[in-house]
Chains A and B, each alone.
Chain A
Amino acid sequence: MVWKIGLFLLLSFVSIAGIAFPIVENPTSWYHFPLIPGLEENAKIIFFHVPTAWLTVVAFLMSTIFSIKYLRKRNLDDDAKSYAAAQLGIIFCILATVTGAVWAKFAWGSFWNWDPRQTSIFALLLIYGAWFALRSAIEQEDKRASLSAVYSIIAFMTVPFFIFIMPRIMAGLHPGSADDTNAGPVVDFKMNGNMQLIFFLSLIGFTILYFWMWKIGYRSILLKEKINKQFIRG
């Protein structure tokens, strides 16, 4: 219970700090953010957009890990855990796409222009969509579990291409791209200490929130199955 209050306070602080702390050219006090040329006020989205994109990948990783676990042990609980992780993953994927598109409207002038990062988040969205389409196509429980586990592992093999390789070799406007000269690698040296601190606090806060949601998600799936079985028997 205590950690839930702590999480609430942490995320409240991150939200307030991320939105309300001023961006000034020469930071003097502890709550000043530095001015990043080319990004200016738009830089504040890093506290909310990057955690959602990060959680999209974390959720996919967890879904794949539980898929591997399922294939080794053949325990349907692992399939439920993988399913719950992917359900959250697609929500965070949509959030990352939408926040990114809104940011792009203000930073680049258009909602969507097939920047490598946009392509890769779109590909992740497609993978999640295909995965859910596959799951809904199969009736039999164990067959559905094993086939979707295999597909999630195969799909996860392509994720490094999207997340790590494509955005770094292709020319793009996204901060941190291969030819990004004006905004540079944002996390490394353009942010000052307190901006980095709030960024990592936000990352940690969102990750804890994700794990909490995931736990509730898979427990509700397990309970639903249990009730269904009782209903069939009795």
Chain B
Amino acid sequence: MKAYALFRKDLHSELRTRYAVNSLAMFIIVAISVILFSIGQERINENLTAGLYWVVIFFSAMSGLARAFVSEEERGTSLTLQLIASPSTVFSGKLIFNLALVFAMNTVISLLYAALFEGFVLQNFVLFLITFVLGNIGLAVSSTIIAAIIAKAGSKGTLYPVLSFPILLPLILTSVSLTLNSINGTSFEDSIFEIAIVACYDIIMISTSYMLFDFIWKD
């Protein structure tokens, strides 16, 4: 339950400044409006809609999720955290916080997409929901562990998307095709292989992250 306490602590400090939430919300609005400006009056096809949906998700995640660990290093509180909690607890706490952030962020993005994009009509909603949940878990896990590396590397801002992109690429590619399937109304049975890939990715990333976090966290 210490992990939950850590999550509460992060939530409180986040609600005090609202830095991550505000910057994320603004980033989402800016990214989507840039896409809308560039599209103009044209009606884009489903392929492009599914791709752009994940482009917005990826870059929003990159702008907001590094905060979890970088803020600890900036405030100089990471040593205290090392004293009071075991590495796996710290990672769990940060992971819960990032999961909450990712789910909130992607719900907003999906709502905005449904409202603003004509092509974003989900024929197979259950498939989209599964993609959404599994994709968000994978995104949160990978970006949390990379954020820990970045924070220890002296929080180089530009390095975060560079390091995350190759790790997230299998997830994003399969999620794009799953989103496309749910827009096209492909049946659940035909997409079972892609769902299996995303689920495998989540499990592999969760177990690897928990095994390796000790080495990042302890100097």
- A residues sitting closer than 8 Å to B (CB atoms) are 71, 119, 123, 126-127, 129-130, 133-134, 137-138, 143, 146-147, 149-151, 153-155, 157-158, 161-162, 165-166, 169
Contacts and interface: CB of A to CB of B under 8 A. Distances in A.
Contacts of B215: 71, 146, 149-150
A47 B1 CA distance: 58
A187 B14 CA distance: 57
B170 A143 contact: no
B167 A154 contact: yes
Given A143-B219, A150-B212, A158 B154 contact: no
Of the listed residues B146, B197, B204, B215, the one surrounded by the most CB atoms of chain A closer than 10 A to its CB is B215
B83 interface: no
Contacts, number: 76
20 contacts: A126-B166, A130-B162, A130-B163, A133-B162, A134-B159, A137-B159, A143-B152, A146-B216, A151-B146, A153-B208, A153-B212, A154-B142, A154-B145, A154-B208, A155-B166, A157-B204, A157-B208, A158-B166, A161-B170, A166-B173
Nearest to B205: A157
B135 to A, nearest CB: 14
Contact of B170 (A134, A146, A150, A158): A158
A218 B194 CA distance: 40
Given A134-B149, A137-B153, 12 more contacts: A71-B215, A123-B170, A130-B166, A137-B159, A143-B219, A147-B153, A150-B216, A151-B163, A154-B146, A154-B167, A165-B170, A169-B194
A165 B208 contact: no
Contact of A150 (B149, B156, B201): B149
A139 to B, nearest CB: 8
Say whether chain A's binding surface is mostly helix, strand, loop, or mixed. helix
Interface in B127-184: 142, 145-146, 149, 152-154, 156, 159, 162-163, 165-167, 169-170, 173
Contacts of B156: 137
A166 B205 CA distance: 18
A138 B154 contact: yes
A138 B159 CA distance: 11
Interface in B18-51: none
Given A126-B166, A166-B170, A134 B153 contact: yes
A133 B159 contact: yes
B158 to A, nearest CB: 9
A169 B167 contact: no
